[in-house]
Structure 1
Amino acid sequence: MGRDSGITGKNVSMVHDEPYDYEYNPDLEPPARLSCDALCVFVLTSNIIIFILGIVGNGLVIWIIGVKTKRTVNSLWYLSLAVSDFLFSTTVPFNGVYMATGHWHFGHFMCKLISVAFPLNMYSSIFLLLVISVDRCMCVVFPVWTQNHRTLRKSSAIIALVWIVSTLLTLPSIVFRTTQTIEDETTCIHDHDSTAFSRKSTALICFVFGLAVPLMVIVICYSVITLKLRANRMMRSSKPFKVMTAVIITFVICWLPFQIFQLLEVYHALYSDTLLKIGIQVTITIAYANSFMNPILYSFMGQDFRNKCLMSVLSRMESALQEEGRSTKAMSISKSADG
C-alpha cells in the first residue's frame, strides 16, 4: 500500500505495510502522543538526566581545555568532541516535550534546527574518533613525519573538515524537514513523499557512514598501534590509550542498537509493530546517553582509582586530558629514537 500524503502527522501502526513514524529519528516522522506508561516515564526521565549531565559534563571539559590546560593537538580533538556533545545536549528538552505531548510547539525554524542536531552529533563524533585513531596510528608508525607536520593549524583545519562533511551528511534533515498542522496539531516531519530521498537510503547512509566504515578504519588503526607497541615493548606507555579505547567502545555500545533498529524499521513488515515502537524509543534514548559519557570516562580512567578518589572532578578530567597529550608525544619521541 502506498503512503497517503494526507496522513503525515499520525502514527500509522495499524497499517502493517506502513512504518512507524518516530520523532527521534530525524528522517522519520513523529510518533503519536505517548501514553503515560512505563516507557514514557523511562524516556522522559532519561532525557532529563541526559540533559543535565551532558550540559554539566561537557561544559566542564570545554572549560578545562579552554582555560586550565595548554592547547595541544590532542586537546583540540577532545574539545571538538565536547562541543558536539554539548550542543546536542541543549536540544534534548525540545525532543522530550515533543515526545510527551505529540505536538510541536517551537515553530518551523526550530523544527529544522533541532532535527539536525541528532545526526550532526552522530557524524561529527564518529568522524572525530576516526581522526583521533588515525592521528595516533601515524604517531606510532611515522613518528618523525608527525613531529614535523602535526601542528595546531593543520589539526584545526581537519576539525573544520569533519564538521563540514558531517553537515553535508545531515542535508536531508536540513532541507526536507518541515512542520505540518492537521486538526490544530502541529508535527515536525521529514517529507519523503516530496523527494526521491527514501527512508531506506537515509538508513543505509546513516549506517555506512555513521558507524560501519569509520569503525572499520578505527579497528585497523588500533590493531596497528597494538602490534607496534608490543613489538617495541611500549605497552606501559599505552595506558592513556585506554581512555580513547573506552570512548570508542562506549560510542559503539550507545549507537549500534539504534542503527540496528533503524535498519529493521526499513523492513517493518517483517517485524512486530510493538517491537519496533519500543525498540526505536529505547535505543534512541541510549544513543542520546552517549552525549554525557565521555566526561565520565575522562574522570574515571585518567589515573589509578585510589588516587582519583582523592582528587576533585575537575582535576581528574584535566589530568586525563593532559595524560593523553604527554603519552602521544612520548611515543613519537621513543619511536624516533628507535628508528
Structure 2
Amino acid sequence: MEYLITNVTLLTGTIITSITNSANGTASPEKRVKRAQRIVREISITVYVMAFLLGTTGNGLVIFFTTFRMKKTVSVVWFLNLAIADFIFTFLLIFRIVHLAMDYHWPFGRFMCNLDVGIFYINLFSSLFLITIISIDRLIAIKFPVWCQNHRTPRLASIVTLVVWVLAFILSLPYAMFMDTTKVENVVYCLSNYSNDKDVAMSRNSGVTITRFIVGFVLPLTVIVLCYTVILSHIRKNYMTKSSKPLKMIAAIIILFFVCWFPYHVFSLLRLSIKYRGKGRFGNVVRTGMHYCKILAIMHSCVNPILYVFMGRDFKEKFRSSIQSVFEKAFSEETVQTSFKRSSQLMSLNSCKLKPYLQNNM
C-alpha cells in the first residue's frame, strides 16, 4: 500500500531530512545532511546527559529541602512546584538519551512516546504559568502588604498551583494525543501525526503552534512585564531598597526562562512558514534551528537550582553556609515583610503626629 510520511517530527526536534516513502522507493539523503544530522545528534546527547545529571540532582535538592527542612511559605510553595516540574522532566531525559544513541530509533513503545512529549509540554506550561503567578504575587505583596499579611497563605498558594497543574495538563493533551510511532525500514520513529490528510494535518499543526505561542508566551510575557514595571516604579517611589534582593532572583529566573524558550517559539512559527513540507535550504535551516532551540529549552530545566544558590546570598558566603541556609535565603519572604513593616512604620508615624493635635483639641 502506498503511503507518505513527510517532515517526521521526532521527540528531540524535527529530523533534518524528510523521510518520504512512496511507490517510487526511498530517497537517500545527501552526505552533508547525514553529517549535519550526526553532529546535531552528538551535541544533543552531550547536552541531555548534562541536563539529566544537573537537573535531577539540583531539583532533587530543592524538593528535599523545601519539603522536609524549610518552613512552608508562599514562596516555598511556588519554587517547590517549579522544582517538581523540572525534576520530572529531566528524569525522563534518559529515554531521549537512549533514543538519540540508537540513531533516532524509539524502542519504548507508543505509550512512552505520548508520555514523554506530554511531560515536555506540561513542563513548558506549568513553569511559565508559575513564573507568571510569582510575578503577580510579588506585585500584590508590594502594593497590598496588609492584605497579604491576612490572606496570602501557603494554603491559597497550594490551591493556585493545583489550578496551574490542571491547566498545564489540559493544554499539553493535544501534543501527547497526536504523537504516534511509525516504522520505516526497521527503525521505529516517535513522531507527530496530526492526520493522514495533509491539509488537515497542516491546519491542526498551525492551530496548536499558534495557540502555544499566544497562551504560552505572548499573554504571560505581557502580564510579567506589566507586573514588574509597576513593582520597580513602586520600589523607586518608596525607596524600598531592601526589597530589591528577592526581586533580583525572580527577575533573573524570568529572563533566563525567556532566553531559553523564546527561540523555540520563534522557530516553531518559522516552521509553519515552510508550509509543513518545506524543502530546500530554508527548510533545512529551520528544521536544524528548531532542533537546537529545543536543546536550549531542555537546558532550562536544570539551571534554576543553580540560580537559587548564586542569587541566594553573596558568592563567598555560599561556601561558608549550609545548602539549607542558601535555599532559605533564596526563598525568603523579605519583600512582603519589608513592605508590611514600612506600612506599619508609616501608620505609627502618622499616629504620633496626630497625638498633639488631638490633645490640643480635646
Report the more deviating stretch, 81-90 or 33-42: 33-42
Please give the secondary structure, in 2, of the residue aligned with 1:121. helix
State which of 183, 203, 208 in structure 1 corresponds to 2:209: 203
Cα distance per residue 1:138-176 (max 9 Å; x no partner): 111122222221122211110000001111111112322
Which AA in structure 1 matches 2:4? I
Quickly say closer, same or farther: Cα 1:93–1:77, change in 2 above 3 A. same
Whether 2:180 is the aligned partner of 1:178: answer yes
The 1:274/1:30 distance shift into structure 2, 3 A limit, reads: closer
Q: CA deviation at 1:313?
A: 4.2
Tell me how many residue pairs correspond in the alignment: 323
Q: Hey, what does 2:122 align to over in structure 1?
A: 120
1:233-279, CA deviations, whole angstroms, 9 ceiling, x for partnerless residues?
10232211101110000000111111111111111249613312321
Q: 1:258 aligns with which of 260, 264, 282?
A: 264
Q: CA deviation at 1:30?
A: 9.3
Partner of 2:4: 7
State the secondary structure of the residue aligned to 1:179: strand
Q: TM-score, normalised by structure 1?
A: 0.88
- Give the 5 Å matches for 1:31-110: 37-100=38-101, 101-110=103-112
CA distance in 2, matches of 1:34, 1:91: 27
- 1:288/1:55 CA distance change after superposition, 3 Å: same
Counting only pairs closer than 5 Å after superposition, residues 223-302 of structure 1 correspond to structure 2 as 223-268=229-274, 269=278, 272-302=282-312
Please state how far the C-alpha of 1:109 moved relative to its aligned partner.
Answer: 1.2
**Contact residue 54 and residue 85 of structure 1 kept, 8 A:** yes
Counterpart amino acid of 1:292?
C
Judge conservation of contact 1:73–1:155 (CA < 8 Å) in 2.
Answer: yes
Offset of residue 38 of structure 1: 3.0
Measured after TM superposition, the shift of residue 61 of structure 1 is 0.3
> Conserved in 1, the CA contact under 8 Å of 2:55 and 2:302?
yes
| SS at 2:188 equivalent | strand
User: Shift of residue 315 of structure 1?
Assistant: 3.6
Match of 1:334 in 2: 342
In 2, are the aligned partners of 1:85 and 1:291 still within 8 Å (CA)?
yes
Structure 1 residue 300, shift from structure 2 partner: 0.4
> In the alignment, is the contact (CA less than 8 A) between 2:52 and 2:91 conserved in 1?
yes
> Greater CA deviation, 180-189 or 162-171?
180-189
Contact 1:34–1:102, Cα closer than 8 Å, also in 2? no
State how far apart, in whole Å, the 2-side matches of 1:149 and 1:292 are.
33
Change (3 A) 1:74 1:328: same
305-314 vs 246-255, which deviates more? 305-314
For residues 53 and 5 of structure 1, do their structure 2 counterparts lie closer, same or farther at Cα, with a shift above 3 Å needed? Answer: farther
Looking at structure 1, the residues matched to 281 and 34 of structure 2 have their Cα atoms a distance apart, in angstroms, of: 21
- 1:306-325 equivalences under 5 Å are 306-321=316-331, 323=332, 325=333
Contact 1:60 1:314 in 2 (8 A): no
Instruction: Give the whole-Å Cα distance in 1 for the aligned partners of 2:335 and 2:170.
Output: 34
Q: Of 11, 23, 38, which aligns to 2:11?
A: 23
SS of the residue aligned with 2:40? helix
Q: Indicate yes or no: 2:307 matched with 1:304.
A: no
- What residue identity is the alignment partner of 1:266? L
CA deviation digits over 1:204-247, x for unaligned, max 9? 11111111110110111011111111111102322111011100
- Per-residue Cα deviation, 1:78-129 (whole angstroms, up to 9, x for no partner): 0000000001101212122223422111012111111111111010001000
CA distance in 2, matches of 1:5, 1:85: 42
Q: Can you list the C-alpha shifts for 1:8-45, whole angstroms capped at 9, x where unaligned?
A: 3xxx4xxxxxx5634335xx789779757432221110
C-alpha deviations, 1:290-319, integer Å up to 9, x for none? 001110111001112222233344442333
Instruction: Kindly state the Cα deviation for residue 330 of structure 1 after the two structures are TM-superposed.
Output: 2.5
**Quick check: 1:215 aligned with 2:221?**
yes
Which stretches in structure 2 are left out of the alignment for 5+ residues?
20-32, 348-362
Against the structure 1 CA distance between its residues 34 and 58, is the aligned structure 2 distance closer, same or farther, given a 3 Å change threshold?
A: farther
Matched residue, 2:360: none
Closer, same or farther: CA 148–271 of 1 in aligned 2, 3 Å: farther
Q: Which amino acid aligns with 2:127?
A: S
Structure-2-length-normalised TM-score: 0.82
Quote the Cα distance in structure 1 between the aligned partners of 2:110 and 2:16. Answer: 15
For residue 321 of structure 2, give the secondary structure of its aligned residue in structure 1. coil
